[in-house]
A and B are shown apart, each in its own frame.
Chain A
């Protein structure tokens, strides 16, 4: 009774947040009156359970208004309950907004949005005004100036746009510090390599010279990139498909697991690059050998994680589908596989990482025209600017591939939001 009464008070008293020891004392005085009211037996008990829920929830959603929540419960906890959940979330953010505004934190203009432009301007100023080292003479190149000017224009436009859109301002202001520091690093790099020449200029070219490679050599680099992507895609898809299939077989069927699992365990951990000698001898072309190596690299993590995802499907899901009349086919394709998808994606991501490594190794070992081959070739010719340009191309490409995969995963695993936190 005591507990119930306190809970009831918590819900009904509007100002319980200010409650200190004084209020507790006054509550104790109230008690006799409360007791006389609370001898209503059964109905009362029902009501109390109901208040208990209301009060518990209202603690979490005080902003949404406990009384409103209670009303929604009374009206039958169907749609109203659901709406309340979404509404209170919405309200919370609205209240936060309001609080910020009250504290004077919301302005139409955020100084931070100007930081990237300022930092880029500083870099440009240093580049144009500081004289070059006298010990080496470089041909003057316009590329760094052009790129910096473009960056300044873009960042200024972005800062102006931020004045009009609050959402953009919030996001851009958050990222701006990173952009600014990145520009600062470029500045340092430029000073070290071009202005002071503290490092060997052959191995550490200035940003200007790296940009020049993109301008002069972009066609050939694109061709190399195309070759790399073709190789990567063929290897990755073969490996992923094979790994997915093996994973399902091993994860689902004991018989398959008995025969294939030892094989996976023995072959899998061998780094795929260790197969190079065998692959080169046993496959007709270096291209097919590389495809084989890449797919082997993808196959192992995909198999292991798919099979563990499938074999760890909650037994109750399978039992429920059994009692709903599902046959083995449905249990595999409608229950086990969807439920294993989060694990499968982890396997595919690991496989992607392994495939990048193998791709580079394969290209360095003899495949013609690939971005890894390009880097290796340029290194032999001591054109390190081209090596860096190649590295940048690789970084950007792989970043885009990984981002794309994450997008696909988010699309497919939309049901997972709120189930598993990454």
Chain B
């Protein structure tokens, strides 16, 4: 879709989110998070596990509400989930009772658009390389194929923002590299804003415009690192490796500020 002005800019102001544990103790998942994401930008969130990256993504998706602070998409407050902010999980979570075509068409079907946009659905299935599998059921697909179907299911709604929660975490290394390239291709083609949570430093550097490194509980933004490497990026270039070393150093530092948590 051709848009006159690019949409999909996100602004987060003083976001705070706490969870109550069964014993009544409150755990702060996010504390005072301020972030601005430009339209069409590719941003990665990286940090130690349990630091609230996924919580932040769920807030953006509208699946949870922050305790305080404001989240806006194109200056409109985010109050509930909606198709303009599609979320892709680590697990493809395709609906097993629907065929691949019906899965991809789901978002349009609930908006009663699936009849007029038939060709578009097929286009997106082709875009992710699943042509010929329209009538297959999810259990007949491999992990990588299912994840691509999940990607198509999100993209067919023309989301302004695509939220990716460790989308390739469960894939083997070879498939993951392929999927990363495919994601970049789709991103270039559609210039959707992408926000990705990942554990993989290489993946973050390879894909993102900016990398947001988060600190563990309570999660704050530790550092925002712009990736100034020209695309297509080569994972062996010195710039790449340098940046990688730097991020790893920050993560290490962030992990050990209070106390050493693990000895290996």
Contacts and interface: CB of A to CB of B under 8 A. Distances in A.
Interface stretch (A260-268, A304-312, A317-325): A317-325
Interface stretch (A32-40, A73-81, A101-109, A208-216): A73-81
Contact of B81 (A41, A323, A335): A323
A319 B110 contact: no
Interface in A40-59: 41-42, 46, 49-50, 52-53
A15 B220 CA distance: 57
B172 A77 contact: no
A365 to B, nearest CB: 42
B214 interface: no
A341 B178 CA distance: 36
B110 A334 contact: yes
A201 interface: no
Contacts of A419: 96, 139
Contacts of A321: 106, 110
Contacts of A322: 61-63, 81
Q: Chain B interface residue count: which class?
A: 35 or more
A409 interface: no
Nearest to B236: A42
Contacts of B175: 53, 77
A162 B234 CA distance: 65
A168 to B, nearest CB: 29
Interface string A80-111: 01100100000000000000000000000000
A416 B139 CA distance: 8
B136 A82 contact: yes
A415 interface: yes
A272 B20 CA distance: 45
Contact of B130 (A41, A78, A317): A78
Contacts of A223: none
Q: Chain A interface residue count: which class?
A: 35 or more
Contacts of B97: 338-339, 341, 413, 415-416
A326 B235 contact: no
Contact of A49 (B63, B137, B144, B174): B174
A54 B145 CA distance: 16
A218 B139 CA distance: 49
B95 A335 contact: yes
A317 B83 contact: no
A219 B168 CA distance: 68
A341 B95 CA distance: 13
Contacts of B83: 323-325
Nearest to B172: A53
Nearest to A41: B236
A41 B236 CA distance: 10
A316 interface: yes
B110 A330 contact: yes
A212 B154 CA distance: 68
A46 B174 contact: yes
A332 B131 CA distance: 30
A420 to B, nearest CB: 9
A3 to B, nearest CB: 14
Contacts of B163: 323
A49 B106 contact: no
B177 A46 contact: yes
Contacts of B111: 325
A319 B87 contact: yes
Contacts of B89: 316, 320
Interface string B54-96: 0000000111000000000000000001110111010101011
B107 interface: yes
Interface in B123-152: 129-133, 136-142, 144-145
B173 interface: yes
Nearest to A50: B174
B124 to A, nearest CB: 13
B107 A325 contact: yes
B136 A325 contact: no
A255 interface: no
Given A317-B95, A320-B93, A414-B137, 5 more contacts: A78-B131, A319-B61, A325-B83, A416-B97, A419-B96
15 contacts: A53-B172, A76-B129, A77-B144, A79-B132, A316-B93, A321-B110, A322-B61, A324-B86, A325-B83, A326-B106, A326-B107, A330-B110, A413-B97, A415-B139, A419-B96
